[in-house]
Structure 1
Amino acid sequence: MSKKNTVAAASKYTATSSSEQQVVNGSVELEGPCHQSPAAVKAKMVKQTSKESLHRRNTECEVYDDGTNTFFWRAHTVTVLFILTCALVYVTLLEETPQDTAYNTKRGIVASILVFLCFGVTQAKDGPFTRPHPAYWRFWLCVTVVYELFLIFILFQTVHDGRQFMKYIDPNLGVPLPERDYGGNCLIYDPGNTTDPFHNIWDKMDGFVPAHFLGWYIKTLMIRDWWMCMIISVMFEFLEYSLEHQLPNFSECWWDHWIMDVLVCNGLGIYCGMKTLAWLSMKPYQWQGLWNIPTYKGKIKRIAFQFTPYSWVKFEWRPASNLRRWLAVLGIIFMFLLAELNTFYLKFVLWMPPEHYLVLLRLVFFVNVGGVAMREIYDFMDDPKFLKKLGQQAWLVSAITVTEFLIVVKYDPHTLMLPIPFFVMQCWFLGIFLIFIWTLWRFFIRDITLRYKETRRRKQEAPGDWDCPLGNGSTGASSGRSKLNGSSETLRQRKS
């Protein structure tokens, strides 16, 4: 069949199908706004619902996988169980138990945690991420549980016992530390210092500068939205202004806040993160088994791409689309800011120096679990009918953030209860009031106004519907009596 005949047949089939679809429940449905049956309206609603259900496909890239299941991807539950049993047998029968009670206690706690991690790596539920390996993300899920249990234990101790317990982890802890003040002399160019007039800038160049850049680069990969990242970045600087009377560490020069932090470190990290997101969204996701690739160059490239995502979903938060998403986005921003504040307040109340390895391990922990939590939150928001409950990692991260804040409240309530300056309170009350007014207008007053205008427009267009032709060629305005009480034939049947 030629191309022309094919097109003609297709058009004929389309016309026939459309004419057949117009016959619903034995009546002929005519085109036009005046003649839309309930079935046609229902069909439109079903079509709209299907479009909304396909929104996830539009934001998710296509993935091509040959389905090769190698030794690398298997769970190896029996192998892990055998190795764990051998280790326990060695400790029980061949190793002599030391007589140090403190050492045995530490070793017993560590062994218990390792056994739990072995169970979780092999048996825990998989999350949304699979690369570089599902066991990697199951491991961090179990670490999340262990960290939450540790925070609960610290929360139930007295302030003195909790701080002294940190000595079991590191003997150098448990000692109060002075906080560094980044404020003071805020001159960018100090003419009084002839040897180094820019000494104020060099004094601020410490380990927090690369940490700010790297942190915001990773946060951008988690949130995947430029506006949300910039809002959180600016809001945290306002929090530092507001809370510098509590923590001297928050006292910084104006150019340190807005130039070095927001523009240079945070801004550059967000920019690089958005460029990486653009590359990940355009990257082809075609997976092939390592032994199915013929060239060595292809094998090396496949190994390198193993540490990239298996697929990619573009986050479209759309906070102004409905009230539920707006409140969810506000909650995400609030939890992000609270987790940022916990970093500074925890080391303040538990007497940990900023360069301590525990502070660094906490940041590494949030880097690995934050991305999974954000993906689970987005999936829960984007398709609530499919996902009936919040993801496990998102639930645990939320619980950890709240528990850390409760530890701060219990261990140093005096610092948190220091009176906030009056002008700071005015600024925060003004900001909260503006958010409340905008929410009230956008999701309540505006919707009521639009519904009222739509109802009024329909009432004005209602008289025009009387002139619309019916299926038999007559008009709807032929008889007011028949419009209200039915046709004349129906009236005769009622009289008889």
Structure 2
Amino acid sequence: VMHLIVNNHYFCFFFFFSFFNRRAHAVTVLLLLTCALVYVTLLEETPQDTAYNTKRGIIASILVFLCFGVTQAKDGPFTRPHPAYWRFWLCVTVVYELFLIFILFQTVHDGRQFMKYIDPKLGVPLPERDYGGNCLMYDPGNASDPFHNIWDKMDGFVPAHFLGWYIKTLMIRDWWMCMIISVMFEFLEYSLEHQLPNFSECWWDHWIMDVLVCNSLGIYCGMKALAWLSMKPYQWQGLWNIPTYKGKIKRIAFQFTPYSWVKFEWKPASNLRRWLAVLGIIFMFLLAELNTFYLKFVLWMPPEHYLVLLRLVFFVNVGGVAMREIYDFMDDPKFHKKLGQQAWLVAAITVTEFLIVLKYDPNTIMLPIPFFIMQCWFLGIFLIFIWTMWRFFIRVTQSLLSLYSDITLRYKETRRRKQEVPSDWERPSGNGSTAAPTGRSKLNGSSETLRYRKS
């Protein structure tokens, strides 16, 4: 693929020109792109290799689409380091979703063999590594290295765990939600280790190395970075207006920080809509995490393959935009009347990936979960349902009944006080006889009665 991209150097040049320029320059890019197509048509000799021409044509089509998106697509909520950067990832999201749809419509054999067009080493079933086995932290039987079980787990995925949760914290911007997702995913690994062998890990690998060390440390560093970003002084002075070179270098470094800062306050218990939205965000996060393991399992990709890494890099760049669009849609639905484009695409990609897993290996997905694990999950779902009913229905109903009772008591008290005040014609006159009130008093009452009614 990289060889084909290098050979399509004119497409790459025009694409990066439109990317690094501050303005879109749509007409300029269109003219240069037309010149490149004219050169390919009239001056370049077409190779006689059908497979090579097919790959080259697909890559050129993708690059043309990316040029269109970088210059014409709608801007998202982020503007740094450059608006074109985020438009580029929006177009990559569209391309990736179309690729997943194509894979979904193939047979299982054809879909797996199609991966050979990307990398000839793919399309071959690979055994999964089993992280379980001997779970002794200190093995007295191995005198030379009694802690060999711990060192065996220290692979490249340990810093990946830390870096991943650091970035996820920058996306979610909430300590509680990050910890809940971290712990819930370990429970999912416990529940699904009968389906995927690499989910079978030692207890200390789950809770000490993953949750307490890698995940918690990544979340802590992420929260510290969020605190710094919230307190960082934001100066929108142009680069060329800064007099010193040190100031210019500092301004260039700050170009890779947010233009402005928005603190996420999810407030899941404030109303039912936000509560269901937070549950949906947690569910989609967990599903995207599971898709990472199941996709490489059903498509026969080794864990260290560059496509797995590229998918993670892709979600790092699009996930932050999607979370910001979801938060804006939840926090201000009057201004943001529909879900953002990047959030919509990320949700569609997550669902499509799961459908691919379900189609390509239904036997693994449908393996029955052990009964005691099912009981635990049903208990957790039941408790969430009960809390939801109590918080948003029973408690609200009680509050409304209490308010109604309070209004009724106040109304009765007001009527009782009115009945205790005697009217003018019921008051005795000076000689002890009941005197009829004047015409004015009959119609409007005495001045004292009028003052009481007004008050």
User: TM-score by structure 2 length?
Assistant: 0.84
Residues 210 and 482 from structure 1, CA distance in 2 versus in 1: closer, same or farther, beyond 3 angstroms? farther
Which has the larger displacement, 285-294 or 457-466?
Answer: 457-466
Question: How far did residue 491 of structure 1 move?
Answer: 14
Question: How far did residue 287 of structure 1 move?
Answer: 1.2
SS in 2 for 1:87: helix
Alpha-carbon distance between aligned partners in 1 of 2:303 and 2:426, rounded to the nearest angstrom: 79
Question: How far did residue 82 of structure 1 move?
Answer: 2.4
Question: How far did residue 72 of structure 1 move?
Answer: 4.8
Alpha-carbon distance between aligned partners in 2 of 1:463 and 1:101, rounded to the nearest angstrom: 106
Question: How far did residue 215 of structure 1 move?
Answer: 0.3
Alpha-carbon distance between aligned partners in 2 of 1:118 and 1:472, rounded to the nearest angstrom: 104
Residues 242 and 448 from structure 1, CA distance in 2 versus in 1: closer, same or farther, beyond 3 angstroms? farther
SS in 2 for 1:463: coil
Residues 466 and 437 from structure 1, CA distance in 2 versus in 1: closer, same or farther, beyond 3 angstroms? farther
Partner of 2:304: 355
SS in 2 for 1:67: helix
Residues 422 and 285 from structure 1, CA distance in 2 versus in 1: closer, same or farther, beyond 3 angstroms? same
Identity of aligned residues (%): 92
SS in 2 for 1:475: coil
1:278-304 per-residue CA deviation (whole Å, 9 max, x = no partner) reads: 000000111111111111111111111
1:160-214 per-residue CA deviation (whole Å, 9 max, x = no partner) reads: 1100110111111000010111000000000000111000001111111011000
Residues 413 and 490 from structure 1, CA distance in 2 versus in 1: closer, same or farther, beyond 3 angstroms? same
Residues 135 and 431 from structure 1, CA distance in 2 versus in 1: closer, same or farther, beyond 3 angstroms? same
1:418-471 per-residue CA deviation (whole Å, 9 max, x = no partner) reads: 111111001000000000000000001119999999999999999999999999
The higher relative CO (CA closer than 8 Å, separation ≥ 6) is in 1
8 Å CA contact 1:151–1:403 kept in 2: the answer is yes
8 Å CA contact 1:373–1:393 kept in 2: the answer is yes
May I ask how many residue pairs the two structures share in their alignment? 433
Runs of 4 or more, structure 1, over 4 Å off, are: 64-72, 447-496
Question: How far did residue 84 of structure 1 move?
Answer: 1.4
1:352-397 per-residue CA deviation (whole Å, 9 max, x = no partner) reads: 0011111000000000000000000000000011111000000000
Which has the larger displacement, 330-339 or 76-85?
Answer: 76-85
Residues 492 and 110 from structure 1, CA distance in 2 versus in 1: closer, same or farther, beyond 3 angstroms? closer
1:6-59 per-residue CA deviation (whole Å, 9 max, x = no partner) reads: xxxxxxxxxxxxxxxxxxxxxxxxxxxxxxxxxxxxxxxxxxxxxxxxxxxxxx
Residues 483 and 231 from structure 1, CA distance in 2 versus in 1: closer, same or farther, beyond 3 angstroms? farther
1:203-250 per-residue CA deviation (whole Å, 9 max, x = no partner) reads: 111111011000000000000000000000000000000000000010
Question: How far did residue 75 of structure 1 move?
Answer: 1.4
SS in 2 for 1:131: coil
SS in 1 for 2:115: helix
Question: How far did residue 89 of structure 1 move?
Answer: 1.7
Alpha-carbon distance between aligned partners in 2 of 1:375 and 1:162, rounded to the nearest angstrom: 34
Residues 215 and 488 from structure 1, CA distance in 2 versus in 1: closer, same or farther, beyond 3 angstroms? same
8 Å CA contact 2:14–2:33 kept in 1: the answer is no
Residues 73 and 150 from structure 1, CA distance in 2 versus in 1: closer, same or farther, beyond 3 angstroms? same
Which has the larger displacement, 411-420 or 83-92?
Answer: 83-92
8 Å CA contact 1:220–1:270 kept in 2: the answer is yes
Alpha-carbon distance between aligned partners in 2 of 1:252 and 1:294, rounded to the nearest angstrom: 57
Alpha-carbon distance between aligned partners in 2 of 1:65 and 1:475, rounded to the nearest angstrom: 105
8 Å CA contact 2:18–2:70 kept in 1: the answer is no
Alpha-carbon distance between aligned partners in 2 of 1:342 and 1:88, rounded to the nearest angstrom: 39
Question: How far did residue 86 of structure 1 move?
Answer: 2.2
Alpha-carbon distance between aligned partners in 2 of 1:450 and 1:494, rounded to the nearest angstrom: 20
Residues 483 and 358 from structure 1, CA distance in 2 versus in 1: closer, same or farther, beyond 3 angstroms? farther
Question: How far did residue 77 of structure 1 move?
Answer: 1.3
Question: How far did residue 482 of structure 1 move?
Answer: 12
Residues 70 and 106 from structure 1, CA distance in 2 versus in 1: closer, same or farther, beyond 3 angstroms? closer
Residues 271 and 488 from structure 1, CA distance in 2 versus in 1: closer, same or farther, beyond 3 angstroms? same
Residues 105 and 71 from structure 1, CA distance in 2 versus in 1: closer, same or farther, beyond 3 angstroms? closer
Alpha-carbon distance between aligned partners in 1 of 2:115 and 2:372, rounded to the nearest angstrom: 38
Alpha-carbon distance between aligned partners in 2 of 1:468 and 1:138, rounded to the nearest angstrom: 84
Partner of 2:448: 489
1:94-140 per-residue CA deviation (whole Å, 9 max, x = no partner) reads: 21101111111101100100000000000000000000000000000
8 Å CA contact 2:15–2:67 kept in 1: the answer is no
Alpha-carbon distance between aligned partners in 2 of 1:486 and 1:104, rounded to the nearest angstrom: 101
Question: How far did residue 76 of structure 1 move?
Answer: 1.5
Residues 470 and 199 from structure 1, CA distance in 2 versus in 1: closer, same or farther, beyond 3 angstroms? farther
Partner of 2:403: none
Alpha-carbon distance between aligned partners in 2 of 1:438 and 1:456, rounded to the nearest angstrom: 41
Residues 495 and 232 from structure 1, CA distance in 2 versus in 1: closer, same or farther, beyond 3 angstroms? closer
Question: How far did residue 492 of structure 1 move?
Answer: 19
List gaps (5 residues or longer) in structure 2. Answer: 1-12, 396-405
Residues 77 and 465 from structure 1, CA distance in 2 versus in 1: closer, same or farther, beyond 3 angstroms? farther
1:243-276 per-residue CA deviation (whole Å, 9 max, x = no partner) reads: 0000001000000000000011000000000000
